[in-house]
């Protein structure tokens, strides 16, 4: 069979992707074992000071887990990371992190970008994900908030379920009132796809219609301890990647723009469910944010019409 550059590239990606996946798996098994042990001790030892120390140790384990995954990607992938706006962020205060959502790759990208620059990054998970082997129990041990996500059809049949979703958001965030936390909210509620964009009638070119309620409830639940909103825009100039792209040298470039914003006045006291004026003001703020974000994505894509150079290592490379 004659040599084919395409087949060589495919074979190279298979080898690299398999090796990176193996590093991820070994790393996960190692840190999860420690995580489960500390969690068990936290559950059985009825001493408040010990449990607080155990909680801090669990966060340190979670950060070490992410750090090794991040280093594994840096060593095996040629991906160029162009990241700006991290200056001034702090680890000892709480943030709401707001981002557009294009791919499952968003999560490891954001975890790597914000590692040890802000408090340990947590995000809302569907209740069903607690059954995922290894990861589900680990997320639970690390206090990731689990929620029941109701479909649009279910909400139309029973509008009271909307209040159940928002109240679950409040309960999940209240546990972080007494320690610095960073809660990630994908305001679109789901990953962007052209089909979802067309079906939802979004007024934006690159974003789905935002859902402001969860953001308002998270701000209300966490209260004045919030130092601000960390606004994140993620762009993949070569198209939305898969997890396989991330680990098999199939992701040439990632662009991340970060901006810290002030919490709008009244968000800690307003009642999003009952106060129509407050609800309208929150929705208007989020709409303006998305108009700005949509324009920023347009500009970033326009500036990168030429392919990035795989393998070069600019100052913005992750790590």
How confident is the model at residue 314, as a pLDDT? 40
Q: Tens digits of per-residue pLDDT, 202-257?
A: 999 999 999 888 888 888 878 888 999 999 999 999 999 999 999 999 999 999 99
| C-alpha dihedral, 112 to 231 to 166 to 201, nearest 10° | -110
State the Cα–Cα distance between residues 226 and 268, nearest whole angstrom. 9
Q: What is the set of domains in the chain, with CATH numbers?
A: 79-302 (3.40.1130)
Secondary structure element (H or E) that encloses residue 257, with its range:
strand 253-261
> The pTM is what?
0.85
pLDDT, position 310 = 45
228 contacts 262 by C-beta, under 8 angstroms: yes
Query: What is residue 309's predicted lDDT score, i.e. its pLDDT?
Result: 47
Is the separation of the CB atoms in 167 and 216 below 8 Å?
Answer: no
What pLDDT is stored for residue 240 in this prediction?
Answer: 94
Tell me how far apart the alpha carbons of residues 46 and 50 are, in angstroms, rounded to a whole number: 8
Residues of the chain short of pLDDT 50, as ranges, are 1-4, 308-319
């Amino acid at each position: 069979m004659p040599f084919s550059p395409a087949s060589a590239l495919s074979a190279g990606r298979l080898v690299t992707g398999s090796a990176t996946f193996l590093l991820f798996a070994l790393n996960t098994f190692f840190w999860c074992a420690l995580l489960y042990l500390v969690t068990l001790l936290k559950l059985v030892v009825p001493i408040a000071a010990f449990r607080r120390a155990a909680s801090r140790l669990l966060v340190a384990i979670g950060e070490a887990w992410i750090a090794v995954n991040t280093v594994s990607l840096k060593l095996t992938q040629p991906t160029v990371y162009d990241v700006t706006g991290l200056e001034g962020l702090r680890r000892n205060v709480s943030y709401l992190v707001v981002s557009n959502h294009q791919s499952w790759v968003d999560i490891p990208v954001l975890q790597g970008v914000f590692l040890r620059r802000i408090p340990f990054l947590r995000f809302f998970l569907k209740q069903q994900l607690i059954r995922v082997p290894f990861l589900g129990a680990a997320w639970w041990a690390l206090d990731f908030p689990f929620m029941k996500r109701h479909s649009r059809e279910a909400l139309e049949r029973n509008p009271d379920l909307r209040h159940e979703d928002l109240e679950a958001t409040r309960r999940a965030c209240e546990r972080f009132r007494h320690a610095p936390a960073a809660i990630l909210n994908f305001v679109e509620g789901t990953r962007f796809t052209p089909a979802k964009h067309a079906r939802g009638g979004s007024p934006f070119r690159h974003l789905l219609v935002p859902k402001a309620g969860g953001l308002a409830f998270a701000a209300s639940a966490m209260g004045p301890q919030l130092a601000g909103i960390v606004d994140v825009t993620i762009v993949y100039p070569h198209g939305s990647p898969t997890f396989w792209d991330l680990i098999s040298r199939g992701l040439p470039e990632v662009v991340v723009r970060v901006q810290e914003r002030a919490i709008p006045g009244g968000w800690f006291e307003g009642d999003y469910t009952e106060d129509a004026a407050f609800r309208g003001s929150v929705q208007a703020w989020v709409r303006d944010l998305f108009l700005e974000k949509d324009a920023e994505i347009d500009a970033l894509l326009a500036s990168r019409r030429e392919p990035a150079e795989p393998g070069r290592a600019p100052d913005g490379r992750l790590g």
